[in-house]
Structure 1
């Protein structure tokens, strides 16, 4: 399907990709802690018939340098942009920290009809990097809503990587230990998935080395089902933190982080999830 691309500078840096024949489903596509604009994934969805919008939600002009006290209104404003195109349905596709944002805003903005959370968390976490004041400590929430911080889990500063110095690091045990050590904060920071009234798809790998996304996804699905909503989990024991959808290039190797999985396992998880992603978003070419 032929597509057209339009760069955005206001209210946020980003890109909107539209099928030449138009589309009635709008999808907000959110990257994780890379901070990039998800051009490749947006193109993939647009070629299936969606109007895809991806924004830089931190690290851009006037934004915090890190994921620190990011206003969730940032994502509500992006939904406004999609609705201005005349779409009948809005979905959010987010990965990792982008999935955390997607799940949070979907519980606050009833205009969101569907969420696809790749490698999600069931909790809101402390900041990663500095806020607008340039400081990364003391820990603050990654998010705010209406000027108030979202409850969050801080990190256990006694944790140390198991890998040799200079090697890529797995952070999974940091999140597991922080979850256990700050149990009271974790209870308060549970993402209120019960408020999400739209369709929900959770995609996660059991070999995720960044955080335990598959257990997080299973917890979210249980809590969502208790609220009498439908949720589906697509999981794989061998995939890592970066599932790749059909048509996407393999994720680049990292000298900094251990993401888990393998190119073949991550691609297999993405392929298994792909038809469910299209179904959840209700994209029809």
Structure 2
């Protein structure tokens, strides 16, 4: 785990924003993004969520409680708490926001509106996440072989989703329980159809009379790059889509909305 303190604190017992950042399928500590939030006044943390001591070696049956525990720790020191996650980490962020009273806002980069399968080393499928020791309902994957190299997995998610509408309904994340929500996605995402997921999230919240800030870019891929962040190039070998220029453009647009949320600035007139 890493924790970064902001440059400016008032000295009050509860002060400003606390931010928990959650990386994607690497499960890594998202040091760069946590540091960025701290530079802009937040008490910011990030944790390794799998692959560490006492954790599953891969992203399956990960307890949501490990995120909820960090939210509670931030809440003891901060007025408000935001959870920001990317990809699989966006699933975690959305679920944490939906099931944790102490979360005031969620930012979901390359999100999913449903819980997806986690695949064990023996090939069996289970949920990505557990709550109170029980696996959450999930959408299973259909048999599929990538036709391209490096592989793009977007079609796998599209086929799996269309194959089992009942599983999709059962695995839907209850995003209507989240107080404030920003979803960020590139339409050229080759990992999964995150722009479609983002729009489904907004539609679900709209049916409950709730607003959602949706930030999309037609040319961006799976990884938005926020201002001041390096472009991440490590990770599993796969097609992610986008370009550095488009991914940075998406990140800049997302950061504008994040700063508005965190400073309480009004939306600009259209």
Match of 1:160 among 132, 145, 148: 145
Match of 1:180 in 2: 162
1:77 equivalenced with 2:69 (yes/no)? yes
* Contact 2:185–2:217, Cα closer than 8 Å, also in 1: yes
Match of 1:19 in 2: 6
* Contact 2:110–2:186, Cα closer than 8 Å, also in 1: yes
Deviations 1:64-110 (A, max 9, x none): 001110111111001122123x2000000000000001111111111
Alignment of 1:89-168 (within 5 A): 89-128=80-119, 130=120, 135-157=121-143, 159-163=144-148, 167-168=149-150
CA distance in 2, matches of 1:44, 1:244: 11
Offset of 1:194 from its aligned partner? Answer: 1.7
SS in 2 for 1:19: coil
SS in 2 for 1:273: helix
Note the residue ranges of structure 1 that are not aligned, 5 or more in a row: 1-13
Normalising by structure 2, report the TM-score. 0.92
CA distance in 1, matches of 2:38, 2:234: 27
SS in 2 for 1:155: coil
* Contact 2:7–2:38, Cα closer than 8 Å, also in 1: no
Match of 1:4 in 2: none
Which runs of structure 1 show a deviation greater than 3 angstroms over 4 or more consecutive aligned residues? 281-284
Normalising by structure 1, report the TM-score. 0.88
User: Which shifted more, 207-216 or 270-279?
Assistant: 270-279
Match of 1:30 among 18, 22, 35: 22
1:193 equivalenced with 2:175 (yes/no)? yes
SS in 2 for 1:101: helix
CA distance in 2, matches of 1:254, 1:98: 14
**Aligned pairs, number:** 260
Offset of 1:274 from its aligned partner? Answer: 0.8
CA distance in 2, matches of 1:192, 1:88: 24
RMSD value, Cα: 1.5
1:241 equivalenced with 2:222 (yes/no)? yes
* Contact 1:114–1:281, Cα closer than 8 Å, also in 2: no
CA distance in 1, matches of 2:239, 2:262: 30
* Contact 2:20–2:83, Cα closer than 8 Å, also in 1: yes
Note the residue ranges of structure 2 that are not aligned, 5 or more in a row: 10-14, 266-270
